[in-house]
Every structure is written in structure tokens, then in C-alpha cells.
């Protein structure tokens, strides 16, 4: 599969059809694995990294799940192409910084990607739409077991899977979900929630993981620890917390509708106004305003059938995606201009927010979307 | 990247000699990690990959899987502070599971052998000895 196919095909998680997809954008699980007694990628000499790559890559490509896969050496991808993969969360920012001796192999549906020689020799990742941590885990577990029959993974009976960073040792597993929580942000409950979640050994981060800012009311929640707890226990605990957060977000939205409806309609109306009329827009502003439009769809202010086109804008207006689809190098100013144009064009067919529909809801007090949608 | 300015007294108190080492290990493994690593002494070296204690302090990462053994002392307290438990309870690779089964079987065969000898049941003992020999060769030829 060529990069052009990756670009033109949105991938399963971007289509947003999974359970609780209004609030849970995506679920991800990754395993870190290493070969026994071989230097980790960060310490290995160039030749050893190349030898490790030659050992691992053909075995990954031979997996039945990787039929017609996209498989490339990082050195053969342009900076923009790598960034596109980062924006789709198919490779990490750290992996995008690599070139010689590293590779990525991913399946056609873009639900499975294997990074070779990232921080560890192998990072096996599955990403799914909505709340599907268990499904993502199952796939990664299966791939891990298949590879393990041919590769001697570094494993210690007491410490489990041995990883380059001691924070990953044990299961080597990181499970995470991307949540859209505008209700909790608007009602200023988000800090409280973040603190509560941190206290129970889970991490909350911004859009692109560690050290990144929360934009577009998007938050990543993941397990912090990997030693002393079984994989399915970690997944179960995380899933429970996410279900609680979904409920809290729905409640926050209900309270906003009932008590601060004017503020809410004002936000939605302004977001619509700016997005349909602006001629320059940074990716941060776009994410923040699109988040409000997405909330508007959840609350019935815009027709449901417009959901996919807004979800697509979240990713299409990211810098590398715009650069790649416009097929030219753009400076920041040109990007902001093009971004505003893409959004205006897309929202042209959008009706104005239907405040009447919203008002009806605040009268009846019923939830726009309840937890029982799945 | 977060910039930290420390006066002489504070940097000594925090055990900072190498400012980059301080920033990275603390940043990656949590505040105080660099200090904890320092306690393990700086002369240790992994015999498999040549990674040193100073390298660990500087990067917060290890050199290879054998480093876990080489730096087990300092890692012990770090892992304890960092994780929920100190022992792995999750997935076991099939390879390791087979080794575990083989060593379990070896243990029970040896126990039976001792019992047979004690009971002067030499016929059983001879058969057990054969089984142990076979198991030993199985373990030796394991991939």
C-alpha cells in the first residue's frame, strides 16, 4: 500500500462509528517489546539497529493481519508524511523524529500499526473508534503472541517484559482513550476531574500525549503504571473510569442546558459565525471552535448527518494534512488562510444553529444523548 | 524543555552535578529520580552492552534488557516508587511458560526420585533418573 492510499483512506477511527463515539473519539492500546540481550534502539549502534530492523520487519510484514500493509522505512518518508501519521496517531512524535534503522508497518484499515526501533525495538499499537479498549487489546495481544513465537522477547519472570524506560516495564502496555469533554470544560469542572483521575494512578494529557496542551476540549487518559497489575485489570479499571467520565460529561451538558443555556447558545452561535466567515485561522483556534460545533451536533443544534464532515475537519485542518493534500509547501500564514477556506467551504452547506430545537430540550430537561446509546 | 536555575547550595543538596542529567532523569522518571539513581554509585556498568550508571542517570533510559540485572539495586527502589507493585503479574510469553513448566516438572521428578531412593524403591528410582536425563536434554536443546 502506498502513502497516497493512506492519505485518501480515512481509517477506521477517523470515521467515528464506535461505541460512545460522541464523547470517546478513539481507544488505543500499545505493547512495548524488546529482543533479549540486544541494545535498545537509543543505545544501539547504527549497524546493530539495522540488523534488528532486518530481523523484525519481515516477520511483522508476514503477519496475516498485515496483508497489503503500508510498510516504510522512516528515512523514506518526508517530514510532512511522517507528520500526517502523527496527526492520525499511527506513529508517535518520537518515532517521527527517527530516520535510519526505523520503520513503520500498518494494516490497510489503519487499526494496527507496528513501530520498529522507536524507543523500544517494537511498539505494537491498535487504535479504534469510540470506547473499544478491549477490542484494541485483543488485537495487540494476538499480534504479540504471533511475533513472540519467532522472536525471543526480553522477559524476566519477576519484572515481566523489559523495556528501555523503567516506566514501561512489566506489561509494557499503555492503554489510552481520547475524550471530547466540552461540557466539563465549559462548566469549569475539568480541573477537578483531572485531579481526581490523576489520584487513582491514571494520567490525563493533551491531544498529542506527554507534554502537550489540551486543545479542542480533547483529553487523553491513560494508565500510568505497568508493573504489579494484570493487563485486563488495567483495561477494566480504565474503562470504568472512562464510563464515569462519559456520565459526568453528559450531566455537565444537562446542567449547562438548564442553567446556562444563553451562554451555551452564544458559544455555538459564535463558533458557527467565526468558522463560516473567517479568512485566517490557526489550527488551535480551528480545533477549539470545531469542538463547539461538535457539541452543537451532539445537542441537536445541527443535523446529525453533518457529524462526519465536522469530524473530518478536525484532522483535515491539521498542518501536515493540509500541506500534503494541497501538495505544496505552505508557510504558517498560507496555512491559516487555506484552513479558513477549507472550513468555510465545508460549512457552506451547514444550516444555521437551530436554537429552537435546543430550547425545547432545555424545557423538557431530557438528555440529548444518554449513556444508553450503546 | 523546562529550564531550572539552581544556586550552588541547592544543586548540591539535590545531588546535581550534571545539569542535563538532572533535567532528563527527573523529567522522565519523576522528581527525585536522579537523586535515587545517584545513590546506586556511579561505577556500575552493564557487562552485556557497556551501558554505565552515569548513562542511566543522564538519559533515564537503559541500554539493554540485561541492564535490569546490572542496575537491579538502584532500579528496585525506583520501580517501587513508580509502579503499583514490584512484581509482574500479567502476560507470560509462551516461551517463558514452557521453561516454567519444564522447571516445575524437573522439581517434581527430583522430589519423587528422592522419595524413591529413601524408600529403597530402586526400580522406580532408575526410571525417574531416565526421565530426568531426558528432560535435561530437552531443556538443553530448547530454542
pLDDT in tens, A157-186: 999 999 999 999 999 999 999 999 999 999
What pLDDT sits at residue A364? Answer: 42
Interface test with B, best of A170, A198, A233 (most B CBs within 10 A): A170
| Position A229 confidence tier, pLDDT thresholds 50, 70, 90 | very high
Is some CB atom of chain B closer than 8 A to the CB atom of A318? no
Q: Which residues of chain A have a CB within 8 Å of the CB of B89?
A: 228-230
In degrees and rounded to multiples of 5, residue A30 shows phi and psi of: -135, 145
Q: Tell me the C-alpha distance between B104 and B82, whole Å.
A: 32
Least confident of B3-7, B89-93, B98-102, B113-117: B3-7
Q: Which residue has the cell 493540509?
A: A322
The strands making up A103-106's β-sheet, listed across from edge to edge, are A70-73, A103-106, A112-116, A122-129, A24-33, A173-180, A218-223, A202-205
Of all residues in chain B, the percent with pLDDT exceeding 90 is 31
Q: Tell me the C-alpha distance between A94 and A108, whole Å.
A: 23
What pLDDT sits at residue B6? Answer: 63
Nearest residue, CB atoms, A227 vs list B29, B64, B84:
B84
What pLDDT sits at residue B99? Answer: 78
Higher pLDDT pick, A108 / B103: A108
| Position A361 confidence tier, pLDDT thresholds 50, 70, 90 | low
| Position A370 confidence tier, pLDDT thresholds 50, 70, 90 | very low
Is the CB of A37 less than 8 angstroms away from the CB of B83?
no
What is the distance, to the nearest Å, from the Cα of residue A157 to the centroid of all Cα atoms in its chain?
Answer: 33
Higher pLDDT pick, A356 / A18: A18
Answer yes or no: is pLDDT of B16 > 80.
no
pLDDT in tens, B22-72: 446 666 676 666 666 665 555 688 999 999 999 998 999 999 999 999 999
Is the CB of A154 less than 8 angstroms away from the CB of B48?
no
Answer yes or no: is pLDDT of A369 > 80.
no
Is the CB of B100 less than 8 angstroms away from the CB of A164?
no
Mean pLDDT of A42-59: 96
ipTM metric: 0.83
Of all residues in chain B, the percent with pLDDT exceeding 70 is 69
Nearest residue in chain B measured CA to CA from A228: B85
Q: Which residues pair with A27 in a beta bridge?
A: A128, A177
Is the CB of B87 less than 8 angstroms away from the CB of A227?
yes
Mean pLDDT of A105-110: 94
Nearest residue, CB atoms, A149 vs list B63, B89, B94:
B94
Answer yes or no: is pLDDT of A365 > 60.
no
Is the CB of A159 less than 8 angstroms away from the CB of B61?
no
Residue A369: CB atoms within 10 A of its CB come to 16
Buried b (16+ CB within 10 A) or exposed e, A155-173: bbeebbbbbbbbbbbbbbb
Answer yes or no: is pLDDT of A131 > 80.
yes
Out of A173-177, A308-312, B102-106, the most confident range is A173-177
What pLDDT sits at residue B41? Answer: 54
In whole numbers, what is the pLDDT of chain A averaged over residues? 90
Mean pLDDT of A245-257: 95
Answer yes or no: is pLDDT of A23 > 80.
yes
Answer yes or no: is pLDDT of A14 > 70.
yes
Least confident of A203-212, A238-247, B79-88, B134-143: A203-212
Cα distance from N-terminal residue to C-terminal residue, chain A: 34
What pLDDT sits at residue B92? Answer: 93
| Position B14 confidence tier, pLDDT thresholds 50, 70, 90 | low
Answer yes or no: is pLDDT of B21 > 60.
no
How does DSSP classify residue A72? E
Mean pLDDT of A300-312: 91
Answer yes or no: is pLDDT of A325 > 80.
yes
Least confident of A119-123, A131-135, B26-30: B26-30
What pLDDT sits at residue A100? Answer: 85
What pLDDT sits at residue B37? Answer: 64
Is the CB of B79 less than 8 angstroms away from the CB of A159?
yes
Nearest residue, CB atoms, A148 vs list B62, B68, B95:
B95
What pLDDT sits at residue B138? Answer: 79
| Position A43 confidence tier, pLDDT thresholds 50, 70, 90 | very high
Of all residues in chain A, the percent with pLDDT exceeding 90 is 75
Higher pLDDT pick, B98 / B76: B76
In whole numbers, what is the pLDDT of chain B averaged over residues? 80
Answer yes or no: is pLDDT of B3 > 90.
no
Interface test with B, best of A41, A167, A174 (most B CBs within 10 A): A167
C-beta of residue A177 within 8 angstroms of C-beta of residue A24: yes
pLDDT in tens, A58-104: 999 999 999 999 999 999 999 999 999 999 999 999 999 988 899 99
C-beta of residue A200 within 8 angstroms of C-beta of residue A245: no
C-beta of residue B28 within 8 angstroms of C-beta of residue B60: yes
Answer yes or no: is pLDDT of A299 > 50.
yes
What pLDDT sits at residue A367? Answer: 41
Cα distance from N-terminal residue to C-terminal residue, chain B: 45
Amino acid at each position: 500500500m502506498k502513502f497516497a492510499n493512506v492519505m485518501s483512506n480515512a481509517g477506521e477511527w477517523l470515521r467515528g462509528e464506535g461505541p460512545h463515539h460522541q464523547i470517546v473519539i478513539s481507544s488505543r492500546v500499545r505493547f512495548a517489546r524488546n529482543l533479549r540481550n540486544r541494545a535498545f534502539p537509543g543505545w544501539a549502534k547504527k549497524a546493530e539497529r539495522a540488523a534488528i530492523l532486518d530481523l523484525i520487519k519481515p516477520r511483522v510484514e508476514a503477519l496475516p493481519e498485515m496483508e497489503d500493509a503500508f510498510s516504510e522505512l522512516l528515512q523514506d518518508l518526508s517530514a510532512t508524511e511522517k507528520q500526517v501519521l502523527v496527526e492520525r496517531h499511527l506513529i508517535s512524535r518520537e518515532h517521527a523524529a527517527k530516520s535510519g534503522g526505523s520503520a513503520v508497518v500498518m494494516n490497510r484499515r489503519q487499526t494496527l500499526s507496528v513501530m520498529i526501533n522507536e524507543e523500544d525495538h517494537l511498539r505494537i499499537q491498535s487504535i479504534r473508534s469510540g470506547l473499544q479498549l478491549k477490542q484494541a487489546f485483543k488485537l495487540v495481544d494476538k499480534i504479540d503472541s504471533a511475533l513472540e513465537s519467532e522472536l525471543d522477547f526480553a522477559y524476566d519472570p519477576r519484572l515481566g517484559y523489559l523495556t528501555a524506560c523503567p516506566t514501561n516495564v512489566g506489561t509494557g502496555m499503555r492503554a489510552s482513550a481520547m475524550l471530547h469533554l466540552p461540557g466539563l470544560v465549559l462548566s469549569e469542572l475539568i480541573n477537578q476531574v483531572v485531579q481526581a483521575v490523576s489520584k487513582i494512578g491514571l494520567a490525563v494529557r493533551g491531544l498529542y500525549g506527554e507534554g502537550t496542551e489540551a486543545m479542542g476540549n480533547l483529553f487523553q487518559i491513560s494508565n500510568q503504571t505497568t508493573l504489579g497489575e494484570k493487563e485486563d485489570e488495567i483495561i477494566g479499571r480504565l474503562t470504568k473510569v472512562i464510563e464515569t467520565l462519559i456520565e459526568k460529561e453528559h450531566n455537565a451538558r444537562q446542567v449547562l442546558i438548564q442553567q446556562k443555556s444563553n451562554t451555551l447558545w452564544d458559544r455555538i452561535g459564535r463558533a458557527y459565525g467565526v468558522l463560516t466567515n473567517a479568512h485566517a485561522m490557526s489550527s488551535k483556534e480551528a480545533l477549539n471552535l470545531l469542538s463547539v460545533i461538535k457539541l452543537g451536533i451532539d445537542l441537536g443544534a445541527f443535523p446529525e448527518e453533518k457529524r462526519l464532515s465536522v469530524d473530518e475537519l478536525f484532522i483535515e485542518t491539521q498542518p501536515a494534512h493540509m500541506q500534503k493534500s494541497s501538495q505544496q509547501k505552505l508557510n504558517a500564514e498560507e496555512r491559516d488562510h487555506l484552513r479558513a477556506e477549507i472550513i468555510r467551504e465545508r460549512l457552506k452547506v451547514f444550516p444555521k444553529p437551530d436554537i429552537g430545537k435546543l430550547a425545547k430540550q432545555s424545557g423538557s430537561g431530557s438528555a440529548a444523548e444518554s449513556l444508553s446509546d450503546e | 524543555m523546562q529550564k531550572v536555575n539552581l544556586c550552588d547550595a541547592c544543586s548540591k543538596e539535590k545531588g546535581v552535578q550534571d545539569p542535563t542529567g538532572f533535567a532528563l532523569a527527573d523529567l522522565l522518571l519523576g522528581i527525585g529520580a536522579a537523586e535515587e539513581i545517584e545513590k546506586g554509585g556511579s561505577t556500575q556498568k552493564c557487562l552485556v552492552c557497556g551501558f554505565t550508571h552515569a548513562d542511566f542517570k543522564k538519559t533515564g533510559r537503559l541500554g539493554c534488557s540485561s541492564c535490569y540485572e546490572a542496575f537491579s539495586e538502584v532500579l528496585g527502589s525506583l520501580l517501587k516508587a513508580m509502579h503499583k507493585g514490584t512484581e509482574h503479574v500479567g502476560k507470560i510469553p509462551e516461551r517463558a511458560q514452557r521453561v516454567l513448566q519444564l522447571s516445575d516438572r524437573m522439581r517434581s521428578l527430583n522430589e519423587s526420585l528422592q522419595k524413591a531412593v529413601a524408600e529403597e524403591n530402586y526400580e522406580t528410582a532408575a526410571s525417574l533418573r531416565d526421565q530426568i536425563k531426558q528432560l535435561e536434554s530437552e531443556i538443553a536443546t530448547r530454542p
